[in-house]
Structure 1
Amino acid sequence: MNDVMPEGETVRLFTVPITEEFANEAAAILERYRELADDALRVKDPEAFDKNANSPFHKEAAEIEALGEPLRSERGSLHGLLLEIADTTKDNALDHVRALEHDLLMQPPPVWSPLTLARVVMEGVLFSEYLFDPAIPLNRRLARLAGIWRTDATYVQKQAEAHGQDPAEARQMLDYVEDALRKCQAVERHNKPGKLIGYSFGSESAPLDINITERAAKAMPSWLPAPYRLTSGAAHNRPWMINRGKDLAEGDGLAGEAATVMAAVMVAMGSVETVIRAFGGYFGVDLSEALRQMEEERTAFLYRAIAIAHAD
C-alpha cells in the first residue's frame, strides 16, 4: 500500500474498483455477522426467560397479568403481537443481509444495489429496535405498536382497493384493528383538524408510525454517522448520487467502487449490532460477548479491506 501522498492531498479510501478479492472479504464479514447474530438472538428460549425475571419483557408481562379481565386478555394479545412484529422485521433484515452477501459477489460487480439492500437491513432493524427499546415503559411501547398496526392496516386497505376489492371487504383488517385497539383502551390522538396522529395508553403516547430518519440518528452506533442519508440517494435513485457510477464508467454504462461496498457493509454491520443491543436489553440477556466479537471482527475487517483495496 502506497502511503506517500503529494503535499496538500488527502487519502480517499476505497475510491477504487471492486475486485473479486475485496468482494469476497466483504461478503465473508457479513456472513460472520449473521452467524453471530443468529447465536445471540436465541434469547427467547424458556431457559433464558427463567433467568431474567427483572427484564423489561418479564416486568411488562407481569404488569399485564395484574390487570382485570377482559383488559388483561386484550392487552396480552397486543403484547404478543409486539413480539411477532419485531421478530418478523428483524428476520427480514437478516434475510437482506444474506441477499447483500450474494449481491456483492455479482459479476460484473454491483453499482448501487448494495446501498439499497443495506437500507432495507437498517429499516427492518430500526422497526425492531423501536418496539423493543428497553428504555421505555410498557404503555409507550403499546402506543408505538398501536400506531404501526393501525398504519399497516390502512396500507392493506389501500392495496386491496387498488386491486379492485370491494371497499367493505378491503377494510376488514382496518375494522378489526380499530376494534382490537378500542378493547385495549387505546385512546386516539387527533390534531386540530381532526386527523388521527397516534395513540395513547394512560399518560404515554406515540405517533402513528416510526420516523426512520430520527430513529436511525438515535439508535444506530455512534461510529456510523448519518447512515440513513448515506443510503437514501441510492435507494431513491437520485441523479446526484447515481451519476457518480456513470462518471466512473467513463461513458460505458455504470461502474461501482469499493467505497459503495464499504458503506453498505458498515450500515449492515451497524444495523445488526443495533438489534443485538435492543433484544438483549429487552429480554434481559447479556449479549456483550457477541457485541465484543462483532467489534473485534469489524475492526479486523476494516484493516484487511484497506490492505486489499489499496494494495500496490
Structure 2
Amino acid sequence: MSVDEIPQGEEIQLMAVPITEEFAEAAAEVLRGYRELVEKCVGHPEPTEGSPFMAEVARINTTPDPLGTARGSLHAMLVEIAGMSFDTAIDHMRALEHDIVRKPPPVWSTLVMARAVLESALLVDYLFDPSISGALRLARCAGLWRKDTDHRTNLAKVLEREDEVTEVDAYVTKALDECNIVARHNAKGKLTGYSADSEVSPLDYNITERAKGRLPSWMPMPYGLLSGAAHSRPWMTNRARVVAEDGSGLVGEAATVMTAVMVAMASMEMCLRALQGYFGYALDTALAELDDYRKLMSLRLIGLAHASG
C-alpha cells in the first residue's frame, strides 16, 4: 500500500533553507486559513435532487425487502465512514498547524501529518467518487469493511479473544450475504474482493496509484516523498543532516513545511470535489476562492523562504 521510493523520473526541487520563526508562523496561518475556508464550504448543506447520492437512495428505497433494507444499512454505513474520514482529515490539518510552529522546528513530522491528511482524503474520494455506479460503491464498501474486520480479528487474536473473531466474521458475512454482495476468490481460494450486481471491487485500493490519479493537477504525485519521511528511509532522512551546517543533528527545511501545506490543500480540494460530485453541492465559487487563496499564499511562503535563505 505504501511506497518508500520516489517514482522514477520524478525530480523534487527543494527550498534548501532552514525553517525560520517568521516562515513557520506564516505557513501555519496559511494552512489554518485554508482549513477554515474548507469547513465553511461544507457546513451542513442538503444533497440536491438529481445527485448520485439521491439517485442511489431512491434506487435502494424502491428495492424490495429484505434486500432493500440490507443495502440501505450498508449505504448508510458507507456515508458515515466517509464522513468520519473527512473529519479525521480536518483533525490532522489542525495538528499540522500546531506542529509547524513548534520549537525546535519540525524536521519530518510535517510530512507524516500531511500523509495522514492525504490518506483520510483518499478514503473520502474512494467512497464518494461520483463517477462510479451505486453497486460498485457498495462493493467498495464491502471490501473495506472486510479488510477492516480482518484487522480487528488480528487484534482479537493477539488479545486472546477468540470468541470475538468468530462472532465478528459471522456478522460481516451475514450482512454482506443479505446485501447480495458476492465474495470473489482467486484460483488458490484467497478472498480478493466483492461484486454487487456484476460490479467488481478489490478488498482495498492502492494508495499510491489512487493519489496519482485523483489529486488536483497542480499537485505532483507526493506519496513516495511522504512515505520516505513516514518510514524513515535513509535516502530521505539523510537530507536533514546534509542541510545542517556542521553536518550533525537534523535540520528541518522550509521545503518540507511547504510540501506538507500543499499536500494538505490538495487533499482537501480533492475531498470537496468528491462531495460536490456525489451530493450535488454548489461549490464552484468556493473552489475558485480556495484556488485563488492557494496561489496567493504559495507565493507569499516562497518569498519568505527565499528571503530567509
The residue that corresponds to 1:237 in the other structure is 232
The residue that corresponds to 1:145 in the other structure is 141
Cα distance in 2 for residues equivalent to 1:202 and 1:13: 48
Matches within 5 A, 1:192-271: 192-249=187-244, 250-271=246-267
Measured against aligned partners, the alpha-carbon deviations of 1:151-171 in whole angstroms (never above 9, x if no partner) come to: 001100101111222x12234
Q: Provide the alpha-carbon RMSD of the alignment.
A: 1.2
Cα distance in 1 for residues equivalent to 2:14 and 2:138: 44
Letter of the 1:257 counterpart: E
Cα contact 1:33–1:272 (8 A) shared by 2: no
Cα distance in 1 for residues equivalent to 2:169 and 2:284: 41
Question: 2:118 matched to 1:122?
Answer: yes
Letter of the 2:148 counterpart: D
Cα contact 2:16–2:243 (8 A) shared by 1: no
One of 173, 176, 179 as aligned partner of 1:181:
176
The residue that corresponds to 2:32 in the other structure is 31
Cα offset, 1:29, TM superposition: 1.4
Cα distance in 1 for residues equivalent to 2:225 and 2:236: 10
* Number of residue pairs the alignment of both structures matches: 295
Question: 2:11 matched to 1:15?
Answer: no
Matches within 5 A, 1:11-90: 14-43=15-44, 45=45, 48-49=46-47, 52-90=48-86
Structure 1 residue runs of 5 or longer lacking an equivalent are: 1-11
Structure 2 residue runs of 5 or longer lacking an equivalent are: 1-12
Runs of 4+ in 1 over 6 A off after TM superposition: none
More off after superposition, 247-256 vs 214-223 = 247-256
More off after superposition, 31-40 vs 179-188 = 31-40
1:264 to 1:176, Cα distance in 2 relative to 1, 3 A: same
Letter of the 2:109 counterpart: S
Question: 2:163 matched to 1:168?
Answer: yes
The residue that corresponds to 1:293 in the other structure is 289
Letter of the 2:72 counterpart: G
Question: 2:267 matched to 1:282?
Answer: no
Cα offset, 1:36, TM superposition: 1.3
Percent sequence identity over aligned pairs: 51
More off after superposition, 230-239 vs 118-127 = 230-239
Letter of the 1:179 counterpart: K
Measured against aligned partners, the alpha-carbon deviations of 1:57-108 in whole angstroms (never above 9, x if no partner) come to: 0000001011001111000000000111001111111100100000000111
Cα distance in 2 for residues equivalent to 1:152 and 1:41: 27
Letter of the 1:58 counterpart: M
TM-score, with structure 1 as normaliser: 0.92
Cα distance in 1 for residues equivalent to 2:298 and 2:58: 44
Cα offset, 1:42, TM superposition: 2.4
